[in-house]
Structure 1
Amino acid sequence: MNNLKEYLIPFVGLKIGKHQFDYQIDNTFFKNFDYNEFNDVSVKVDIVLEKKSTMLELDFKHKGTVNVPCDVSGEEFDLPIKGKLKLLVKFGDAFNDENEELLVLPHGEFQVNVAQYIYESIILSVPLRRIHPGVKDGSLSDVIQKLESLSPKENKKEEQQNNDIDPRWENLKKLLTDK
């Protein structure tokens, strides 16, 4: 975690008002967190720190792409992501980061580490299901055809058994669907 010193924002010397901080995130950032779900990362993070007399307001915005494998086809593709995060920093007796929108720093603290918040906001902006755009629009038709050929087919014996069912049971099945 010593490689994350550039994500320490010293706020003691800053004047009251808004201050802009920009970061370009790549794979080396995620290696510090032992996170290897992304093949490649190119995300720009903009942080606006508004210093007030008794607290700090941090507004995180990120936009960029992460290269991930498709959950359907296995093909790698660049997934565009973007997101926002608002963080209030107050001062108290002890460090407390239990609330995701409020950070309490001890009174003597002179800097805030934003690396964890950048990491979490990028990870949470990636959808749970990652589908290649070619699967949606049909341009990966050879992959789709292969998946369809490998999909399970209904067994012919089961079809025959379904046809040999007593008609009285069929009427009972209708009761289940006629709710």
Structure 2
Amino acid sequence: MKDLKQFNISFVGLKEGKHLFEYSIDNTFFNTFNYDEFEKSSINVTLDFVKKSTLFELVFTASGTVNVPCDVTNEMFDQEITSVLPLVVKFGPEYNDDNEEILILPHEAYEFNVAQFIYEMIVLAVPNKRIHPKVLDGTMESEALNKLEELKIKKVQTVEETDPRWDKLKNLITEKKT
């Protein structure tokens, strides 16, 4: 993870109060995590870092686009994403990130890396079902869409034909009731 040194925040030298960190994320960032779902990406992440005497309050904000294939047509498109991730950093006897909203750092820590939080925030911001905007508004012309339309099940109106052998039985039931 030597490529992620720019995401280290050395908090020992920071004064109490608000600090702002900005990051530009592209595919080289995701390659360090061996994540290759995006063809290309362009995301701006801002980190509002508030240092208090006993804890830190962090708010990550991401906005940008990732180039992904459409789940319907397999056409590539730029999916817009926005996400916000609040995080509280406290100090304790040992490192603990079991709670997704609270990170506990050991008392002797002097810096920590925020790359994992940025990575998870962006990956989770991408919708599970990715549909090209032109498919949604009906303007997409694609071989896949044409084939899907061709194979679409059409409603078939059938005339209900009854088996004459059952007609006699139906009459028996109605004759009993009358």
- State the TM-score, normalized to the length of structure 1: 0.85
Which residue does 1:129 correspond to in 2? 129
- Structure showing greater radius of gyration is 2
Contact (CA 8 Å) 2:83, 2:125: kept in 1 or not? Answer: yes
CA distances 1:102-126 after superposition (whole Å, capped 9, x unpaired): 0000001001210000001001111
CA distances 1:125-178 after superposition (whole Å, capped 9, x unpaired): 111100000101111144422221134668x9xx79x75576899xxxxxxxxx
Which residue does 2:86 correspond to in 1? 86
Aligned length: 165
Which residue does 1:9 correspond to in 2? 9
Which residue does 1:72 correspond to in 2? 72
Which residue does 1:150 correspond to in 2? 151
- State the TM-score, normalized to the length of structure 2: 0.85
Which residue does 2:58 correspond to in 1? 58
Is there any run of 5+ residues in structure 1 with no aligned partner, and where?
A: 170-179
Is there any run of 5+ residues in structure 2 with no aligned partner, and where?
A: 171-178
Contact (CA 8 Å) 2:73, 2:142: kept in 1 or not? Answer: no
How many percent of aligned residue pairs carry the same amino acid? 51
CA distance in structure 1 between the partners assigned to 2:140 and 2:16 by the alignment:
54
Contact (CA 8 Å) 2:92, 2:106: kept in 1 or not? Answer: yes
Change (3 A) 1:11 1:147: same
Change (3 A) 1:163 1:10: farther
CA distance in structure 1 between the partners assigned to 2:140 and 2:119 by the alignment:
32
